[in-house]
């Protein structure tokens, strides 16, 4: 499929008029064809106007039509075939199995949301019938449903060019909710973005939906993204990336005459708690598994296990020896962009320069586009004394913090910022100590897992990929799994509205066959 470097604005495809950029082949630093001229203000305005015009029609599409649309996007992505995989590999440096797996996850995610739309409980339809004879006052007829919030701006992630990008979780959940989407493409994978964007554009046309249901804009800089968040027609924002980028967009959204929510997934170091029983039983095996998780995708996962907490002893020694040996064997890996590679090197150098931090092991030295795995260690009082040690090193680096006892481990956890995940490695005799720490972990993280690592998020109904700030901007939400749809819905209540004027979801005959609550109890169907 030929790439044209065009913005997709509703049904149109046109090259921008602003400064152009090219994708960079991650492994070599070579510029790739074609160039992508940036969208201009007129393009931004048209994309937002079309999204606004599409909103009322798109949000009222019936469940089958909306689910069919999501499935059509999935089918069109698969139809692109190997062109998508090879372009994505070139732009990101990620290997084929990873990209193919991510494509399957993206398609599975769209289909999951098709199922959510068909099943219908996300609408939260509730009916409290009138009680005209209630004393001292009659109760009115009250009916509630959730509606889409409005057009959503999506900023894709550099590190998940499919599953967290143009047709990723933010887009899939916003479309499922009934929100038109305007994507600001990530400049690290514009070709991948154009291919996937065309797959969505084609599905919009084939499903007979309003053209403004989807648009995709390119920009060499940041003005289109900033303009998008500031545009009064945009009602919410989905973002995955840096803390600096996420907080900049939050500030723009909060400063608007009508502020809107920004759902930003940002930085996390994902503490791993190694309990003494587990370390004694299988310290070396945990060390090996940890090294595999740390180096996955060159460490460029927001779920990367960057902080390990453990009590000293032979079990921890075995862990460090095995993890160190695996990391010393690990090859350097191509990183996503020159900027990310530079930031990683600088972050590692900063920690390496810390007088009280020791380097346990490092992987093979890489070339100019690569990152090298590194494992550091420090005592808990050193960690507690220096807040910079809990900054994310976005790449394959971790810090082992030795805690003299569980009180010291608790002190470290108390000091931690919000996180996406916490992993606990346990033997049965560790349960009492783990139980003590669980309430604190619940306050710090979005997902608690046992005997595993957080990398590789399952797209499922019970998944939370979120967490308190700064892991995300709003710890009440998730960006992965079916609950992600909640971010783009808001409740509306209808009081004493005649049946003929009610939305189908709330009419007496329940023409959409939705699951509903009558007086708080599931309706018999």
Q: Which stretch binds ligand AKG (CB under 6 A): 153-161, 320-328, 356-364, 388-396?
A: 153-161
Neighbour count for residue 137 (Cβ, 10 Å): 7
> Are 309 and 272 within 8 A, CB to CB?
yes
The least CB distance from residue 149 to ligand NAI, in Å, is: 21
CA distance 261 to 473: 9
Q: Which stretch binds ligand AKG (CB under 6 A): 85-93, 206-214, 435-443, 449-457?
A: 449-457
CB of 402 closer than 8 Å to CB of 316: yes
Query: Of these residues, 48, 88, 302, 403, which one is catalytic?
Result: 302
36 counts as binding ligand AKG under rule CB under 6 A: no
Shortest distance in whole angstroms from residue 232 CB to ligand AKG: 29
Q: Looking at beta carbons only, is 127 or 154 nearer to ligand NAI?
A: 154
> What Rg value do the Cα atoms of the chain yield, rounded?
25
**457, 484, 505, 514: which one binds ligand AKG (CB under 6 A):** 457
Nearest distance from C-beta of residue 434 to ligand NAI, angstroms: 26
Token duo for residue 416: 């931690």
Distance CA 415, CA 480 (A): 27
Residue 457, contacted partner among ligand NAI, ligand AKG, none, CB below 5-8 A by kind: ligand AKG
Stretch that binds ligand NAI, among 39-47, 97-105, 219-227, 494-502 (CB under 6 A): 219-227
Does residue number 397 form part of the binding site for ligand AKG (CB under 6 A)? no
Answer yes or no whether residue 160 interacts with ligand AKG by CB under 6 A: yes
Query: Phi first, then psi: what are they for 83, rounded to 5°?
Result: -55, -40
The CA-based angle 48-49-52, given to 5 degrees, is 85
Environment class of 501 (CB within 10 Å of its CB; exposed 0-12, middle 13-18, buried 19+): exposed
Residue 302 appears among annotated catalytic residues: yes
Residue 241 binds ligand NAI (CB under 6 A)? yes
Q: Which does 158 bind (CB under 5 to 8 A by kind): ligand AKG, ligand NAI, none?
A: ligand NAI
User: Does residue 465 touch ligand NAI according to CB under 6 A?
Assistant: no
Instruction: Please say whether the beta carbons of 125 and 185 come within 8 A.
Output: no
Residue 186 contact, options ligand AKG, ligand NAI, none, Cβ 5-8 Å cut-off depending on partner type: ligand NAI
* By CB under 6 A, residue 477 contacts ligand AKG: no
User: Whose Cβ is closer to ligand AKG: residue 264's or residue 409's?
Assistant: 264
Please give the backbone phi and psi of residue 236, each rounded to the nearest 5 degrees, phi first: -165, 160
Binding mask 333-362 for ligand AKG (x = CB under 6 A): ------------------------------
Q: Is 334 within 8 Å of 297 (Cβ atoms)?
A: no
Which of the listed partners (ligand AKG, ligand NAI, none) does 515 bind, with a CB threshold of 5 to 8 Å by partner kind? none
Query: Which helix H or strand E contains 183, and what residues bound it?
Result: strand 181-184
Q: How far is CA 306 from CA 396, 399, 446, 484, 494, in A?
A: 8, 6, 16, 25, 49
Q: Is 1 exposed, middle or buried (0-12, 13-18, 19+ CB in 10 A)?
A: middle
455 touches ligand AKG by CB under 6 A? yes
CB of 166 to ligand AKG, least distance (A): 15
Instruction: Give the whole-angstrom CA distance, residue 348 versus residue 399.
Output: 10
Tell me which residue of 431, 63, 498, 419 sits closest to 243, measured CA to CA. 419
d(CA 224, CA 18): 10
Contact between 303 and ligand AKG by CB under 6 A: the answer reads: yes
What phi and psi, each to the nearest 5 degrees, are found at residue 209? -90, 160
How are beta strands 521-522 and 516-518 bridged, if at all?
A: antiparallel
Residues 388-417 that bind ligand NAI (CB under 6 A): 392, 394
Binding flags for ligand NAI, 158-197, as an x/- string (CB under 6 A): xx------------------------x-xx----------
User: Residue with structure tokens 């690990």?
Assistant: 330
Is omega for the bond preceding 256 within 30 degrees of 0, making it cis? no
Q: Are 486 and 90 in contact (CB under 8 A)?
A: no
Choose among ligand AKG, ligand NAI, none what residue 266 binds, the Cβ cut-off being 5 to 8 Å by kind.
ligand NAI
Please indicate whether residue 265 is annotated as part of the active site. Answer: yes
Q: Which of 155, 263, 275, 301 binds ligand AKG (CB under 6 A)?
A: 301
Rounded to whole angstroms, the Cα distance separating 43 from 36 reads 14
Q: Which stretch binds ligand AKG (CB under 6 A): 184-192, 298-306, 328-336, 423-431?
A: 298-306
Pattern 283-312, binding to ligand NAI, x per CB under 6 A? -------------------x----------
Of these, 157, 237, 286, 416, which contacts ligand NAI (CB under 6 A)? Answer: 157
Residue 193 or 303: the one with the smaller Cβ distance to ligand AKG is 303
Are 203 and 73 in contact, with CB atoms under 8 Å apart?
A: yes
The binding site for ligand AKG (CB under 6 A) comprises: 157, 159-160, 164, 240, 301-303, 455-457, 465
Q: Which residues are part of the catalytic machinery?
A: 265, 302
The binding site for ligand NAI (CB under 6 A) comprises: 155, 157-159, 184, 186-187, 222, 225-226, 240-242, 245, 248-249, 265-268, 302, 340, 343, 392, 394
């Amino acid at each position: 499929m030929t790439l044209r470097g065009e913005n997709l604005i509703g049904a149109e495809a046109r090259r921008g008029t602003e400064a152009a950029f090219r994708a960079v082949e991650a492994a070599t630093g070579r510029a790739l064809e074609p160039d992508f001229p940036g969208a201009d203000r007129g393009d931004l305005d048209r994309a937002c106007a079309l999204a606004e015009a599409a909103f009322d029609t798109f949000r009222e599409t019936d469940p089958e039509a909306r689910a069919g649309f999501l499935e059509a996007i999935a089918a069109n992505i698969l139809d692109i075939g190997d062109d998508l995989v090879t372009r994505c590999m070139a732009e990101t440096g990620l290997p084929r199995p990873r990209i193919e797996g991510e494509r399957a996850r993206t398609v599975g995610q769209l289909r999951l949301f098709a199922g959510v739309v068909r099943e219908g409980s996300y609408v939260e339809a509730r009916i409290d019938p009138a009680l005209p004879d209630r004393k001292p006052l009659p109760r009115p007829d009250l009916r509630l449903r959730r509606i889409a919030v409005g057009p959503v701006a999506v900023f894709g992630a550099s590190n998940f060019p499919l599953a967290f990008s143009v047709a990723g979780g933010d887009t899939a959940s916003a479309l499922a909710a009934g929100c038109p989407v305007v994507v600001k493409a990530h400049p690290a994978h514009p070709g991948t973005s154009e291919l996937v964007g065309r797959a969505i554009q084609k599905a919009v046309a084939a499903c007979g939906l309003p053209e403004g249901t989807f648009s995709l804009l390119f920009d060499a800089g940041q003005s289109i993204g900033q303009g998008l968040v500031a545009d009064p027609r945009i009602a919410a924002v989905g973002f995955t990336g840096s803390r600096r980028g996420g907080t900049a967009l939050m500030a723009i959204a909060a400063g608007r005459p009508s502020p809107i929510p920004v759902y930003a997934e940002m930085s996390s170091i994902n503490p791993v708690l190694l309990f003494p029983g587990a370390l004694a039983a299988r310290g070396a095996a945990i060390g090996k598994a940890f090294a595999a998780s740390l180096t996955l995708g060159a460490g460029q996962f927001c779920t990367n296990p960057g902080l390990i907490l453990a009590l000293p002893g032979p079990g921890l020694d075995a862990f460090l020896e095995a993890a160190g040996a695996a990391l010393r064997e690990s090859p350097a890996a191509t990183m996503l962009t020159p900027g990310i590679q530079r930031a990683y090197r600088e972050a590692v150098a900063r920690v390496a320069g810390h007088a009280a931090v020791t380097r346990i092991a490092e992987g093979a030295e890489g070339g100019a586009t690569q990152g090298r795995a590194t494992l550091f260690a420090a005592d808990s009082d050193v960690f507690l004394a220096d807040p910079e040690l809990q900054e994310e090193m976005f790449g394959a680096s971790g810090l082992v913090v030795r805690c003299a006892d569980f009180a010291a481990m608790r002190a470290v956890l108390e000091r931690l910022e919000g996180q996406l995940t916490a992993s606990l490695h346990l033997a049965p005799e560790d349960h009492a100590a783990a139980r003590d720490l669980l309430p604190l972990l619940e306050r710090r993280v979005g997902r608690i897992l046992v005997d595993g690592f957080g990398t590789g998020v399952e797209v499922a109904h019970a998944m939370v990929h979120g967490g308190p700030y700064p892991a995300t901007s709003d710890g009440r939400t998730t960006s992965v799994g079916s609950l992600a749809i909640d971010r783009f819905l808001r409740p509306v209540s209808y009081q004493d509205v005649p049946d003929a004027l009610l939305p189908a979801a709330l009419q007496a005959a329940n023409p959409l066959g939705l699951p509903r609550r009558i007086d708080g109890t599931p309706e018999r169907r």
